[in-house]
Amino acid sequence: MVLTQNNNADTTVIRIENLCKSYSLQGTDGKSIVNQVLFDINMTVYQGEFVAIMGHSGSGKSTLMNILGCLDIPTSGSYWLSGKNISTLTENELARIRNQSIGFVFQGFNLLKRMTALDNVAVPLLYAGINRSQSRKQALALLCRTGLEKFAMHQPNQLSGGQQQRVAISRALVNHPPLILADEPTGNLDTQTSKEIMLLFEQLNREQGITIVLVTHEDDIASYARRLIRLKDGCVIYDDKNTITGDH
Amino acid sequence: MNLTTILSEAFRALRQNRLRTGLTMLGMIIGVAAVVLMLSIGQGARTKINETIAAMGSNLFLVVPGATSSGGFSFGSGSVRTLTINDAYAIADLTSIAATSPVTTGTVQLNYASKNWSTIITGTTPDYFVVGNWKMESGTTFTESDLRSAARVAVLGSVTAKNLFGEEDPIGKTIRITNRPFQVVGVLMAKGQSLTGRDQDDNVYIPITTSERQITGNQFPGSIRYMLVQGKSADDMDIAEIEITQLLRQRHRIQQGKDNDFTVRNLTAIADVATDAAKIMSIVLGAIASVSLMVGGIGIMNIMLVSVTERTREIGIRMALGANQRAILTQFLLEAIMICVLGGSIGLLLGITGAWIVSQVADMLIVITFGMIGLAFLFSSAVGVFFGFYPARKASSLKPVDALRYE
Ligand SMILES: Nc1ncnc2c1ncn2[C@@H]1O[C@H](COP(=O)(O)OP(=O)(O)O)[C@@H](O)[C@H]1O
Ligand SMILES: [Mg+2]
């Protein structure tokens, strides 16, 4: 299974070339300072891969993930997602890509408050133009698969961290995107819950061939991935393309 | 996302945040209710005064015996008897004058069947009803020939007729005025209170000749209590006043340099004062209303700005999940519109109810126009929609990552 995926790996999901990102900040003396966060990043991710991006805090992992998730735009360089050049797309087309092609999982869950788990999962379907009752049906099906059907009518503040992250993962999956981006998805969870979440990601990758790019700074979390990329001060310092199970 | 889904999403957002929704609506409710209440009271007062003035008759002078006292009218003092019926007829012949009506008054006891009623009696000429702009409820006024023959005929004010006859038709019936039989020939339509707050409808009118000879009696034959004079045109009131004064001075043989023994009052001028007072009152009420509208508007603005800004993160999440700018904007616009329409309608109901209560409790005329409703509604809605929409537009034009990072 894994091997067949890798053999068909000529399908690129992500390709970035010479990607740079810098922020301009207002300095104390009133002059604007340019703070470059990402330097000349090159990487290619093929369909079915499970990639972990590691690096110290402040090394630019989230910045990279936000660009990959079309939530932010690079300062220079190119980004192709499933063959589409992102920089040529309009705001509406980007919204559509975020809706259809990417499932984003955040460290802080980012569920909508005062809305049931079911309705939270259904939101991407609504923006895909599916009506409410149909959306709820599909959302419930996903909650069943992640083992949360009992909590469908709970609001986020009535759920544990692990349950909230499962709701968020269900939401990321609901439009069947080929790519899941997860920025420190276990950052707010205890070890046991983190393990369960990672097993869920591993299962999604293995059984459904969903491409997963995951950011973490913990080695045992990264060990669930099959490829490791290390960032340091905004540069890729390590990219190991052929790891099957990580034990770095 | 289609419009019905966005609409239900907007509705759900409002329901999920009852407090916020309630507070925003409160601004709307207070603004609209206050404006409707204030403007309707002001408008009511103006309408009432205009009606009273119109009912009073136009281009009127009141001529009373006695010199002008510093306190204004020496109206009805009773001691001065310098004006006569003939003075009135002479004034009527002036070119600038349309008509005059001399008046004597007294208090009498009326009887009909077993009922009796004490009221004011007015002896006058048929012109009185023309000059005073009276309309008939039923029957007719007495005539010039009644005047000449000093006939025992009476016209009743509406309150007097009601008290004496109840539901019965008074026309043709015989009543007793201080025990003398009089035939009722007409009943006047109600006018309500005068500008000075006097009830104008409790009165009995008879020819002045009859009154003088048979009812009030008269130590000074031909003298009258006052006369109403109607000028021909509103533009010539000043000329008319001079002519009346000159004629009366001449008739009363008042020498150069001596004071008048009568006073001519231009009632139109008094009416103008009342109109101005009512206008000032509406302006003051209007100003209070605009302040309430402003306060309401600022309330709406604050809550909208805060609530939309507070939801920047939510906007970021929705964009990360695939919402485009238009979907976000439509939702916020619909939320603002729903709040405004709902709050405005409640405010409108409240304002109308308040106006009704005021009209009942204070016995005031209240006038509600579509103009004032529209003004209040439009202003508050414009504020609500603008301040609901503008921050949402700002947030939705952020990059999703910036909206998400917003604390
Ligand atoms: N919006 C921003 N404006 C300015 N600097 C930023 C912004 N976002 C991130 N940075 C800077 O970029 C660097 C990398 O941040 P980030 O990508 O969040 O790191 P990581 O996720 O690896 O901890 C940090 O030094 C941070 O200060
Ligand atoms: Mg980070």
pLDDT tier for residue A160 given thresholds of 50, 70 and 90: very high
Domain boundaries, chain B: 3-52+273-405, 81-260
Percent of chain A with pLDDT over 90: 85
Chain B residues within an 8 Å CB radius of A72: 399-401
Give me the mean pLDDT over the A96-115 stretch. Answer: 95
Q: Are B44 and B359 in contact (CB under 8 A)?
A: yes
Q: Is the Cβ of A114 closer than 8 Å to some Cβ of chain B?
A: yes
What is residue A104's predicted lDDT score, i.e. its pLDDT? 96
pLDDT tier for residue A243 given thresholds of 50, 70 and 90: very low
Q: What is the mean pLDDT of chain A?
A: 90
Question: Could you give the C-alpha distances from B90 to A153, B208, B251, B253, in angstroms and in order?
Answer: 96, 16, 9, 15
Residues B376 and A11: their CA atoms lie apart, in Å, by 62
pLDDT tier for residue A10 given thresholds of 50, 70 and 90: low
Whether residue A126 and residue B1 make contact (CB cut-off 8 A), yes or no, is yes
Q: How far is the CA of A69 from the centre of ligand 1 (A)?
A: 16
Tell me the three state secondary structure of residue A194.
Answer: helix
Phi, psi angle pair for B172, to nearest 5°: 85, -10
Nearest to B322 among A99, A111, A115 (CB): A99
Chain A interface, mutation test: which of B1, B2, B12, B321, most A Cβ atoms within 10 Å? B321
In this structure, the residue with its CA closest to atom 7 of ligand 1 is: A23
Ligand nearest to the CA of A57: 1
Report which ligand 1 atom has the smallest distance to the Cα of B401: 1
The full set of domains in chain A, from first to last, is 49-72+94-240 (3.40.50.300)
Chain B residues within an 8 Å CB radius of A129: 1-2
Chain A residues within an 8 Å CB radius of B1: 126-129
Report which ligand 1 atom has the smallest distance to the Cα of A57: 23
What is residue B51's predicted lDDT score, i.e. its pLDDT? 82
Residues 6+ apart with CB under 8 A from A212: A49, A50, A51, A179, A180, A182, A201, A204, A205, A225
For residue A98, pLDDT over 70 is answered with yes
- How many other C-beta atoms can be found within 10 angstroms of the C-beta atom of residue B94? 18
Whether residue B404 and residue A112 make contact (CB cut-off 8 A), yes or no, is no
What would the pLDDT profile of B351-372 be if each residue is shown by its tens digit?
999 999 998 998 888 888 888 8
Residues A239 and A223: their CA atoms lie apart, in Å, by 14
Pairing of strands A179-183, A102-105: parallel
Residues B236 and B233: their CA atoms lie apart, in Å, by 5
Whether residue B404 and residue A129 make contact (CB cut-off 8 A), yes or no, is no
Question: Could you give the C-alpha distances from B307 to A202, B258, B302, in angstroms and in order?
Answer: 40, 79, 8
How distant is the Cα of B302 from the closest Cα of chain A, in angstroms?
A: 22
Report residues whose beta carbon is within 6 angstroms of any ligand 1 atom.
A 23, 25, 35, 37, 55, 57-63
What is residue B217's predicted lDDT score, i.e. its pLDDT? 66
What would the pLDDT profile of A70-93 be if each residue is shown by its tens digit?
999 999 999 999 999 999 999 999
Angle (CA) B401-B403-B405 rounded to 5° is: 65
Angle (CA) B109-B114-B118 rounded to 5° is: 20
What is residue B367's predicted lDDT score, i.e. its pLDDT? 86
Containing B117, the helix (H) or strand (E) segment is: strand B115-124
What is residue B297's predicted lDDT score, i.e. its pLDDT? 79
What is residue A109's predicted lDDT score, i.e. its pLDDT? 94
Q: Which long-range contacts (CB under 8 A, 24 or more apart) does B273-278 make?
A: B274/B49, B274/B52, B274/B53, B274/B195, B275/B46, B275/B49, B275/B50, B275/B53, B277/B49, B278/B45, B278/B46, B278/B48, B278/B49, B278/B50
For residue A245, pLDDT over 60 is answered with no
For residue A214, pLDDT over 80 is answered with yes
Residues B142 and B122: their CA atoms lie apart, in Å, by 13
Report which ligand 1 atom has the smallest distance to the Cα of A66: 17
Ligand nearest to the CA of A35: 1
> Residue B314: is it exposed, middle or buried by C-beta count within 10 angstroms (0-12/13-18/19+)?
buried
pLDDT tier for residue A124 given thresholds of 50, 70 and 90: very high
For residue A24, pLDDT over 50 is answered with yes
- How many other C-beta atoms can be found within 10 angstroms of the C-beta atom of residue A136? 19
For residue A138, pLDDT over 90 is answered with yes
Write out residues in chain B with pLDDT < 50, as ranges: 70-71, 74-78
